[in-house]
């Protein structure tokens, strides 16, 4: 009774292998993304970049340094590693771009009946990045990577990724829900009632067997609520997970922009009138069209191209340098 009529029809006419109740994590993600799809007019800005300078820079840097191992400039394993993977580069480069185009970094309070809406442009650039775990995807945050050396950003991402894979995501999401519900009660926001119901239902009716690994992990080795709440923009690196050239991402409200980074692959590319093999990546930035028009995104992509064409601006950046 009261079930969706289409689902009810299928239940009567299709043999079902197993009925698996959604975990609290999946319920939370489903609710947030459904809310985002209903309320946010998504617009995608997709760009293809020739990242051959980035690939060649990393290879040339490693080869040159390894030829002179007896000098003080011999590279560490970390320095060599971050020139073979590109996630830290893109996280730091996106943060630099947001520094130059600050209106894209922040959050939106769209309240047509209350204030009309307020765009909050954030001073902090808190970039969350996606980590795939056995529970699903978690989004830990690197705070102000544009003010840190690339090695520091890479170390933080590695530590957060390790913690994410050791974290009981069900319990972490419950703690995050409690934090949000506390904020909702202080604001007397009845819009949080569905969230409250989902949370209470998950507490009163355990739906999944308790993870046996979680109790053996020390709290300091797992993600905390502060590690996943407070992002001002998100980078989803699909290229680290699969050979996918493009992903159109769904914005996590109240953020206003999310980037999907594809994999780096070789394609025929026209350079100076000649077809040559080049390394290419696709970047898909999804924006909340309520907050700004598409033209606001163009300067961001120009800056990103500048960093890709001259990777030393990111790789060799040190404290005190211009962002």
User: Can you tell me the distance from the alpha carbon of 238 to that of 262, in angstroms, rounded to the nearest whole number?
Assistant: 5
- With cut-offs at 50, 70 and 90, classify the pLDDT of residue 188: confident
Reported as a single tens digit per residue, the pLDDT across 57-80 is: 988 766 655 555 544 444 566 666
Summarize the confidence of residues 218-227 as an average pLDDT. Answer: 93
Close Cβ partners of 297 (under 8 Å, ≥ 6 residues apart): 45, 101, 104, 285, 287
- Which of 8-12, 69-73, 103-107 shows the highest mean pLDDT? 103-107
- Which of 8-17, 92-101, 249-258 shows the highest mean pLDDT? 92-101
User: Can you tell me the distance from the alpha carbon of 146 to that of 124, in angstroms, rounded to the nearest whole number?
Assistant: 10
| Contact indicator for 62, 229 with CB cutoff of 8 Å | no
| Contact indicator for 27, 227 with CB cutoff of 8 Å | no
Per the listing, tokens 């419950």 go with 174
| Contact indicator for 203, 175 with CB cutoff of 8 Å | no
Tell me the average pLDDT of the chain.
Answer: 87
In this prediction the pTM is 0.88
Q: Lowest mean pLDDT: which of 23-27, 148-152, 300-304?
A: 23-27
User: Token pair for residue 29?
Assistant: 């993600």
Percent share of the chain, pLDDT over 70: 87
pLDDT of residue 73: 46
Residue 208, pLDDT > 80, answer no
For 257, list phi and psi in degrees, rounded to 5. Answer: -155, 145
Quote the distance between the C-alpha of residue 290 and its chain's center. Answer: 21
Q: Lowest mean pLDDT: which of 225-234, 241-250, 276-285, 311-320?
A: 241-250
Of 59, 82, 92, which is closest to residue 303 (Cα–Cα)? 92
Residue 249's Cβ-count burial label (10 Å; 0-12, 13-18, 19+) is buried
pLDDT of residue 84: 72
pLDDT of residue 315: 92
pLDDT of residue 310: 96
Reported as a single tens digit per residue, the pLDDT across 142-177 is: 999 999 999 999 999 999 999 999 999 988 998 998
**SS3 label, residue 255:** strand
Residue 299, pLDDT > 90, answer yes
Of 291, 136, 300, 154, which is closest to residue 228 (Cα–Cα)? 136
pLDDT of residue 214: 52
Say what angle helices 298-309 and 87-100 make with each other, to 10 degrees. 130
Domain regions of the chain by residue span: 20-315
Summarize the confidence of residues 86-111 as an average pLDDT. Answer: 95
User: Can you tell me the distance from the alpha carbon of 93 to that of 307, in angstroms, rounded to the nearest whole number?
Assistant: 7
Reported as a single tens digit per residue, the pLDDT across 257-274 is: 999 999 999 999 999 999
Per-residue b or e along 98-117, where b marks 16 or more CB atoms closer than 10 Å to that residue's CB: bbebebbbbbbebeeeeeee
CATH class, 20-315 region = alpha beta
């Amino acid at each position: 009774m009261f079930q969706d009529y289409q689902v009810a029809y299928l239940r009567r006419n299709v043999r079902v292998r197993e009925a698996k109740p959604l975990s609290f994590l999946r319920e939370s993600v489903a609710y947030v993304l459904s809310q985002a799809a209903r309320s946010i007019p998504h617009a995608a800005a997709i760009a293809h970049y020739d990242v051959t300078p980035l690939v060649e820079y990393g290879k040339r840097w490693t080869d040159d340094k390894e030829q002179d191992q007896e000098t003080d400039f011999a590279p560490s394993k970390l320095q060599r590693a971050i020139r073979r993977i590109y996630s830290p580069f893109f996280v730091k480069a996106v943060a630099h771009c947001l520094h130059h185009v600050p209106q894209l970094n922040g959050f939106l309070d769209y309240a047509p009946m209350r204030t009309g809406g307020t765009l909050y442009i954030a001073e902090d650039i808190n970039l969350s990045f996606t980590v795939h775990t056995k529970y699903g995807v978690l989004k830990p945050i690197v705070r102000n990577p544009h003010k840190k050396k690339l090695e520091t950003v890479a170390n933080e991402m590695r530590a957060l990724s390790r913690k994410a894979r050791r974290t009981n995501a069900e319990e972490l999401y419950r703690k995050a829900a409690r934090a949000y519900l506390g904020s909702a009660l202080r604001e007397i926001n009845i819009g949080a009632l569905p969230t409250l119901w989902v949370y209470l239902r998950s507490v009163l009716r355990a739906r999944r067997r308790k993870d046996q690994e979680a109790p053996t992990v020390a709290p300091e080795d797992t993600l905390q609520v502060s590690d996943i709440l407070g992002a001002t923009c998100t980078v989803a690196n699909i290229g680290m997970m699969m050979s996918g050239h493009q992903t159109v991402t769904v914005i996590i409200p109240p953020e206003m922009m999310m980037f999907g980074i594809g994999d780096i692959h070789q394609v025929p590319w026209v350079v100076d009138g000649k077809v040559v093999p080049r390394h290419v990546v696709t970047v898909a930035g999804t924006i909340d069209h309520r907050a700004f028009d598409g033209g606001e995104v163009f300067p961001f992509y120009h800056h990103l191209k500048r960093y890709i064409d001259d990777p030393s601006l990111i790789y060799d950046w040190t404290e005190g340098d211009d962002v």
